[in-house]
Structure 1
C-alpha cells in the first residue's frame, strides 16, 4: 500500500516538474497534483448548485408562462430574472465547476475562455439590472399604490424594459469576444483570465457597483416611505378614537 502511494506521488511530481522545465512549449499540459477522486467528489458536490439553479428557475418560468393569473408586471420582471439566472446556471456555472475539477486549469482554448467570460458578464449584468428595475417597481407600489394597481398588468412596458436590459448587457459583454482581451506573450495558455484591467474595472462599475448603490438607495426610500405611512396611519387612528373617547366620557358623566 505504501509502495503504491509512493509510486503515484513520484509520478505526479515527475509530471509537474517536466511541465515546469518545458514551460516554453505550449504542448506542455499541466498535470494535477490533487488526487482525481477528490476532485471528482468535490466536482459532483459543486454540480448540485447549477442543477438547483436550472431546476428552480425553470419552475418559475413554466409557472409564469402557464398560469394567466400570474401575467402581471412584477411577475414578468421575476420571469426575466429567472431567465437570466437560468442562463447563468446553463452557460456559466458548469464551466466554473469544470475549472474546479481540472484543478484550476482551462483546457478549452482562449476563444472559449472569452465566450465564457462574456456569457458571465452578460447574464450577471442582466440579472443585476432586472433586480434594479424590481426595486423601482416596489418603490412605486409603496408610494403610489392606486396608480400602480391600475397599471399592474402593463406587460408590454415590462417586455420593452427587458429588451433594453439585454441590449445593454450584451453591449457590455461583447467587447470581451471582439479583441479587448489581449493576452501577453508570456500568458499561461491553461489559465482563463481577462487581461484588460481598465475594461474590467469600468464594466464592473457600470454593471455591478452603480446598480447596487441604486438598489440600496431605492430600498432605503421604501423603508422611509413605509415608516411615514405607518406614522400617518397612527395619527389617523388617533383622530378617529378621540371623538369616541369624548362621547364615552360624556355618556358616563350623565
Structure 2
C-alpha cells in the first residue's frame, strides 16, 4: 500500500476507449477472482478430508484473495477516475481494506513457506510442530496483525478523512512508504526466498535418494517414501504459488524502492496495481491445475451435490 500515498498527485485523464477497456477487463477479472476464491473457501470449509494445516493456510489466503476480488478491485477501478465522488471516509476505508488484504496475503505466504519448510526439512516432527490448532492461532494472529498495522498506518487519515486532500474530488492518503516496504516486502520476501532455497536443496536430495533406491524396499519404508513424494508435490505446488506471488508483487514494490516517480491514474500505475491484484485470481487457477482435490470439489459444488446429506464426508482425495 506504499504507492497509494502518492494519491495526492494529480490524476491523468485517458481516452474514453481506454477507460472502457479498463472497466471491462478489470471488472471481469474482479468477478472471476471473487468466484474462484469462493470455490476454494467452500471446498476447504465443507469437505472434512481437506481439514489439514496446509489447507487452512490456503483457506486464509483464499479469504484475502476473495476480499480483493469482491471489494478491492472494484474500488481500485474507481480510483483510476480523475475525480472521487464517494466521499473522504469511503476513500480512507478503501485504502484501509487494501492494506489489510495485501498485508494478510503477504503474511500468509510467509506462513505457507514455513509450513513447507518444516514438512520437507523436519518431516518426522511436522505432525507435532504444525498442528491444526497452532495454524489456526497463527492465521488469527496474521489477520489481527494486518488489521492493527493498517489501522496504525492510516490512523491520521481515519481520524480526519480528507485532511491530505488539496482540492475537492481528490482521494489522498498519507502512508509511511519506507516502513511498508521493509515490513511487507523486503523482510517477507527475504524470508520466503531463504526458506524455499532450503526446501529446494532438501527436496532435490530426497528425490535423488528415491531414484537411486537407497532406502530398503519394505512396506514401512514404502509408506515413508510415499509420504515424502506427497510432501514434495505439495512443496512444488506451493513453490509455484510463491513464485507467481513474487512476479506479481515485485514490479509494484520495486518501482517504489527505486524512487521511480509514477503518476497515479496513469496506464503504468493502473497496470502495476492490477498485476498485484491479479495474483489473487491466479492462486485458485494454480490450485485447479495442480490439485486434483480442488477439481473434484468444484465439480461437486457446481453440480450442487454438496447439498446432499453427508456430502462433507465425500471422498475427494
Q: Would the TM-score normalized by the shorter structure come out above 0.5?
A: yes
Deviation of the 1:45 alpha carbon: 1.7
**Which residues of 2 match residues 11-30 of structure 1 at below 5 A?**
none
Instruction: Specify whether residues 185 and 160 from structure 1 end up closer, same or farther in structure 2 by C-alpha distance, changes over 3 A only.
Output: closer
Deviation of the 1:117 alpha carbon: 0.9
**Which residues of 2 match residues 1-254 of structure 1 at below 5 A?**
34-35=15-16, 38-100=18-80, 102=81, 104-149=82-127, 154-180=131-157, 187-196=166-175, 199-230=176-207, 232=209, 237=214
Aligned mates of 2:164, 2:99 — CA distance in 1: 25
Unaligned runs of 5+ in 2: 1-10, 218-317
Aligned mates of 1:51, 1:147 — CA distance in 2: 41
Higher RCO (CA 8 Å, separation ≥ 6 residues): 2
Deviation of the 1:201 alpha carbon: 1.7
**Looking at CA atoms only, which structure, 1 or 2, has the larger radius of gyration?**
1
Aligned mates of 2:188, 2:71 — CA distance in 1: 23
Q: Deviations over 1:172-220 (max 9, x none)?
A: 1003442158867772433333334xx2220232122211111111101
After the TM superposition, which of the residue ranges 78-87 and 220-229 deviates more from structure 2? 220-229
Q: Deviations over 1:224-248 (max 9, x none)?
A: 22233345557763999xxxxxxxx
The answer on whether the counterparts of 1:115 and 1:176 sit within 8 Å (CA) in structure 2 is: no
Q: Deviations over 1:24-52 (max 9, x none)?
A: xxxxxx996633x6523430221011111
Deviation of the 1:97 alpha carbon: 1.4
Aligned mates of 1:33, 1:85 — CA distance in 2: 29
Query: Which aligned runs of 4 or more in structure 1 are off by greater than 6 angstroms?
Result: 30-33, 181-186
Aligned mates of 2:60, 2:74 — CA distance in 1: 21
Aligned mates of 1:129, 1:238 — CA distance in 2: 37
SS in 1 for 2:166: coil
The answer on whether the counterparts of 1:125 and 1:169 sit within 8 Å (CA) in structure 2 is: yes
Q: TM-score, normalised by structure 2?
A: 0.57
Q: Which residue in 1 is equivalent to 2:289? A: none
Aligned mates of 2:61, 2:41 — CA distance in 1: 9
Q: TM-score, normalised by structure 1?
A: 0.70
Instruction: Specify whether residues 236 and 172 from structure 1 end up closer, same or farther in structure 2 by C-alpha distance, changes over 3 A only.
Output: same
The answer on whether the counterparts of 2:96 and 2:150 sit within 8 Å (CA) in structure 1 is: yes
Aligned residues: 205
Aligned mates of 2:27, 2:181 — CA distance in 1: 26
The answer on whether the counterparts of 2:33 and 2:66 sit within 8 Å (CA) in structure 1 is: yes
Aligned mates of 1:110, 1:131 — CA distance in 2: 32
Aligned mates of 1:185, 1:127 — CA distance in 2: 28
